[in-house]
Chains A and B, each alone.
Chain A
């Protein structure tokens, strides 16, 4: 365990050192590639004056609300899609089609429908999450070995009980990977929306990134990018990874 930590830390330190020396060697203008030190200076000052916290909170709030709506709507719709051929041909095809649409394409529509409001942001996040979640749920339910439902039926399980006690738990590994993918899509769409659209109700990380570019403040641009990466990693490690470990242990899949 310690050896793993140590080798990982060494890797990231080496990366940092490479960055430092690349800047010191002046291959690129410091305007285009700021040193790690100046990025950390920016981050420290942004933390101290509160802008970073505020922006992170605004972004995370949008993300959580939008993602939750996406799951609450997407999960039942995915189950519905898997339950009949008709819904497969209709909702399934719709989800498949809209999932191929890059979520940034929803931004103009959201602006026209909702104006420069919080709703527009949420709309884009939901559209980014929903379709992939429907497809993952549908796929998960379809991949369940039919023997599970037959065994359950032979023991007297019917209707709703079969769905909640057999179909849903049996498709958990697929649901989790769908939720993970949905989370990634939610992040992407929210960042796209925040970079493209200025709204007055909240100044998120995407806006910080956008104004970094407007002001030619590369230390800000890279600093905010780092924050986004770190949040993404933290969510994966604290939320999804424990669930995945549990599933692997139960199902006996994956390594270890």
Chain B
């Protein structure tokens, strides 16, 4: 079944390399160790899901890869270059749609495109329309953001993240606030887009089934301090249906392991 797989890819072929990452936050009352010595390699074109209970540092790790946060210790590299700031090759998609309400749908998708150099206005327009078409929302391009449903907003956010053609897509629980039916549609969309465009995707979620449905690899985090506990390779064929029995078997196994950690944490 779900085999534990500590793959050791060599640094040369890895898209993203994270070595011995530690990060802590000071709150008013205590010092939280969000990440403790996390090492992870992600290959070009790989779909990796980070799973764990809240507070296990998985979102922090994503922010570090995005360049929005700096680690206290450790090394983060993308394509062999140390990450020090956000860049157009690694775009982030957030839990809330984070779309700009003062822009139209089209304006939102154009925002990132205008920041990436070397495109004429016509090319930007063409790209924006192409990606809105890809997520099925081209006819809403002149709509205001508030006129869209939650699922449509996340589709626009996806189009906005894809449009500047990043090689890495970082997704922080992007479907967490959506209803189950909308989520299932988006699982289909994201798999289709991933297979067409072959981005490297790092996907954070606390939903094990979602992780198994989407990921080549599922990486399990435990909290206090945030650490990688186990990795699972998911060799299921694609496109995957979240309701399939095979998928459920993997999910059950991973959930069992996850519960073990959470209970030990509580007991200990």
A165 CA to B170 CA in the complex, in Å? 23
Q: Using known A-B contacts A150-B94, A155-B86, A252-B147, determine if residue A169 contacts B102 with beta carbons closer than 8 Å.
A: yes
Q: Using known A-B contacts A154-B68, A252-B147, determine if residue A148 contacts B86 with beta carbons closer than 8 Å.
A: no
- The contact size tier of chain B is 20 to 34
Contacts of B67 in A (CB 8 A): 154
Binds A, one of B15-23, B110-118, B121-129, B190-198: B110-118
A42 CA to B72 CA in the complex, in Å? 77
User: Is A50 close to B, CB under 8 A?
Assistant: no
A157 CA to B98 CA in the complex, in Å? 15
User: Is B151 close to A, CB under 8 A?
Assistant: no
- The contact size tier of chain A is 20 to 34
Task: Tell me the minimal C-beta distance from A17 to chain B in angstroms.
Answer: 44
Report yes or no: A155 in contact with B112, Cβ–Cβ below 8 A: yes
Closest to B144 in A: A250
Give per-residue flags for A227-256: 1 if the beta carbon is below 8 A from chain B beta carbons, else 0. 000000000000000000000011110000
Report yes or no: A155 in contact with B68, Cβ–Cβ below 8 A: no
Give chain B interface residues in 71-123, CB to chain A under 8 Å.
86-88, 90-92, 94, 96, 98, 100-103, 111-112, 115-116
Report yes or no: B102 in contact with A151, Cβ–Cβ below 8 A: no
User: Is B146 close to A, CB under 8 A?
Assistant: yes
Task: Tell me the minimal C-beta distance from B88 to chain A in angstroms.
Answer: 5
Report yes or no: B94 in contact with A156, Cβ–Cβ below 8 A: no
A172 CA to B67 CA in the complex, in Å? 28
A138 CA to B56 CA in the complex, in Å? 35
Task: Tell me the minimal C-beta distance from B151 to chain A in angstroms.
Answer: 17
Task: Tell me the minimal C-beta distance from B157 to chain A in angstroms.
Answer: 8
A221 CA to B145 CA in the complex, in Å? 50
User: Is A170 close to B, CB under 8 A?
Assistant: yes
A161 CA to B86 CA in the complex, in Å? 14
Report yes or no: A148 in contact with B98, Cβ–Cβ below 8 A: yes
Interface centre among B66, B94, B115 (most CB of A within 10 A): B115
Contacts of A161 in B (CB 8 A): 115
Task: Tell me the minimal C-beta distance from A26 to chain B in angstroms.
Answer: 57
User: Is A61 close to B, CB under 8 A?
Assistant: no
Report yes or no: A156 in contact with B87, Cβ–Cβ below 8 A: yes
Q: Using known A-B contacts A250-B144, A251-B146, A252-B147, determine if residue A155 contacts B164 with beta carbons closer than 8 Å.
A: yes
Give per-residue flags for B32-57: 1 if the beta carbon is below 8 A from chain A beta carbons, else 0. 00000000000000000000000000
Q: Name the contact of A170 in the complex, choosing from B87, B88, B100 (C-beta under 8 A).
A: B100
Report yes or no: A147 in contact with B94, Cβ–Cβ below 8 A: yes
Closest to B100 in A: A148
Report yes or no: B101 in contact with A251, Cβ–Cβ below 8 A: yes
Q: Using known A-B contacts A151-B94, A252-B144, determine if residue A156 contacts B101 with beta carbons closer than 8 Å.
A: no
Given A151-B92, A154-B90, 10 new contacts (CB under 8 A): A148-B98, A154-B91, A155-B91, A155-B112, A156-B115, A157-B115, A169-B102, A170-B102, A251-B144, A251-B146
Interchain residue pairs A-B with the least CB separation, the first 6? A252-B146, A154-B92, A151-B98, A155-B112, A169-B102, A156-B115
Residues of A within 8 A of B (CB): 147-148, 150-157, 161, 165-166, 169-170, 172, 249-252
For this complex, 24 residue pairs linking A to B, each with C-beta atoms less than 8 Å apart, are: A147-B96, A147-B98, A148-B98, A148-B100, A150-B92, A150-B98, A152-B111, A153-B86, A154-B67, A154-B68, A154-B92, A155-B111, A155-B112, A156-B88, A156-B116, A157-B115, A169-B100, A169-B103, A172-B102, A250-B101, A250-B146, A251-B101, A251-B102, A252-B147
